[in-house]
Each structure stands twice: as C-alpha cells, then as structure tokens.
C-alpha cells in the first residue's frame, strides 16, 4: 500500500491485490476505519479505479495483481467549479455552465483561468483549450510552458480524446459530419468552403431517444469554435437551448464535455476522466 499527497492536499490511496477478492473487501483492507457505506460512496462518486478503469460495483471481482486506486476528492473552488485532478504539471477541472474559460473584453475576473491563478497568488496557469460559457464539463490547464506545448501538440495531432453529450432536436442517428467553418465579422460561425474555412470533423451517435429529442454522444477530431453547435444545426438537429444557432428557447444549452483523455506531458502516461450528465 502507498500514499501520496499532491497540490490538492487530499490523500490518494492504492493497493495491489494479492489474491482474488471482491472490491468491497479489498477496500476494507485498504481503509479498515471506513464504514461500508463510506466505501460504497467512493464507488458512487467515481473515485475508485481498477487498473485505471472506473469501478462501479462493490461486488466486482478483483484478480490477484490488479491495482486498485482511490482518487482525490473533488474540490469546489467557486460557483460549482471542481478540480478532478491536479499535480505540478496540469490541472483538470469540471466547469459549470455559465462560467467563462478565459477572459474577454467584458469579463476578466470571473473565469476559470482567473480563479485558478488567484488560488496560488497568480502562479502561471496556461489555458490549453476552451469551452463556451454555456457549455459545462472537463477542461485541462497547464502549470508549465512545457506542459502547455505538449498538450497543444496533442490537440494539433488529434490524439487528445474529447467526447461530449448533448440534447438535440430530432434523431440524427449515427455518422460523421465534415464541414469547413468560417467566422464572420459578427463572430458568427458559418459553414463555408475549403478555401475560406477550417475543416471540422465530428462523430455522432444517438444514445437515447426522448420523445422528439435525442441524447447524443459527440466525439471531436478537430476543435473549432462552436463546432458541435454549428454542425448539428446545419444538419437539421440543433442543440436544445442553443439560442445562437438553433431555436429561441428558455433555459441552458444542453452541451456537456463528458470525457477527456490525454497523455500526461511529463510521464507520458495515458490518463482519462469522465464527468456524468445529470439531465
């Protein structure tokens, strides 16, 4: 058994199983002072992994030699912003809808970037990618220039995995959208041609039908501004709550960055995180 403490100041525990055993029993060995309800709570909150994969069930069988880890508690920073992973190189956060990623001409203080910088008295924090104000979900920031350049390279090479969940009007089924996107002088993204626009590639698959709406999984190959929103609307399946590219509606935009996968810029280790959808 080993313990390590990172910048979050919360303990990470891990244990390698020496025999075939249920996950709950192994967690009891790992933390004998914790109640079974507490251990089950770790599972429900997604804190437990077996060989790097999230574990969901207390009765799951763990084989000898498999590694079980209990991850950090999520830390709330401001207005629902949560840290889901942090070390000296990177920080992964779960952003609520309504919060900007980085500063604009109209807003400089109430952004994810500014909140992270204030947390360590303006230590360097480098944005890697962005989410729209109305979009919730997972974002990664770098704490060093070297880490930022490495992560930017992963984005450029399209090796960083990003999946979204969205509620759309209609039933798009399953397929791939390939369009060229261009931003006009009104900051509105339009479908264009190869000479004027930049290629946007989005894979989509309906996960669940909800009347005349669908819950859809979107996987990005490229990361253009408003990519999912524009392509979905252009195909005839606008996102619910998208007042800019879809229908005029009340309520929030139903778009969530649910999965993020990358190679750690220092260790090279493959890492991934999930953020559940609650709508």
Give the pLDDT score at 220: 94
Give the pLDDT score at 31: 86
In CATH terms, the fold of domain 75-159 is Pseudouridine synthase (3.30.2350)
DSSP 250: S
The ranges assigned to domains in the chain are: 2-70, 75-159, 163-257
The rounded distance, in Å, linking the Cα atoms of 22 and 25 is: 5
Give the pLDDT score at 9: 30
In CATH terms, the fold of domain 2-70 is 3.10.290
Average pLDDT per block of 10 residues along the chain, 279 residues long? 31 83 93 87 85 88 92 72 91 94 77 89 89 95 97 96 97 97 92 93 97 96 94 96 88 94 95 89
DSSP 134: T
Give the pLDDT score at 138: 97
The rounded distance, in Å, linking the Cα atoms of 183 and 164 is: 22
Please list the active-site residues.
132
Compute the C-alpha angle 158/206/262, nearest 5°: 25
Compute the C-alpha angle 187/192/193, nearest 5°: 145
Same fold flag, 75-159 and 163-257? yes
CATH number 3.30.2350.10 given to 163-257: yes
The rounded distance, in Å, linking the Cα atoms of 202 and 239 is: 14
Compute the C-alpha angle 250/167/225, nearest 5°: 85
Give the pLDDT score at 1: 33
Q: Which distant-in-sequence residues (6+ apart) come within 8 Å of 115 by Cβ?
A: 77, 78, 81
Structure tokens at 24: 């709950």
Token pair 């002072």 is found at 33
């Amino acid at each position: 058994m080993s313990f390590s403490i990172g910048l979050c100041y919360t303990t990470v525990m891990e244990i390698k199983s020496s025999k075939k055993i249920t996950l709950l029993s192994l967690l009891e060995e790992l933390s004998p002072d914790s109640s079974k309800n507490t251990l089950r709570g770790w599972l429900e909150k997604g804190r437990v992994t077996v060989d790097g994969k999230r574990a969901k069930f207390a009765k799951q069988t763990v084989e000898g030699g498999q590694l079980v880890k209990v991850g950090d508690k999520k830390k709330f920073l401001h207005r629902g912003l949560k840290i889901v992973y942090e070390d000296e190189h990177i920080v992964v956060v779960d952003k609520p809808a309504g919060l900007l990623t980085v500063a604009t001409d109209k807003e400089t203080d109430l952004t994810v970037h500014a909140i992270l910088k204030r947390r360590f008295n303006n230590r360097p924090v480098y944005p890697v990618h962005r989410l729209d104000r109305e979009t919730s979900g997972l974002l990664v920031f770098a704490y060093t220039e070297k880490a930022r350049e490495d992560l930017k390279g992963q984005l450029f090479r399209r090796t960083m995995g990003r999946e979204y969940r969205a509620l759309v009007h209609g039933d798009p089924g399953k397929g791939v959208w390939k369009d060229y996107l261009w931003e006009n002088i009104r900051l509105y993204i339009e479908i264009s041609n190869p000479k004027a626009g930049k290629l946007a590639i989005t894979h989509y698959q309906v996960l669940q039908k909800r009347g005349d709406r669908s819950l859809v999984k979107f996987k990005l190959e490229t990361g253009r501004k408003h990519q999912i929103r524009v392509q979905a609307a252009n195909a005839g399946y606008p996102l619910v709550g998208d007042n800019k590219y879809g229908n005029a509606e009340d309520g929030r935009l139903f778009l969530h960055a649910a999965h993020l996968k990358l190679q750690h810029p220092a260790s090279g280790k493959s890492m991934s995180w999930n953020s559940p959808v609650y709508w």
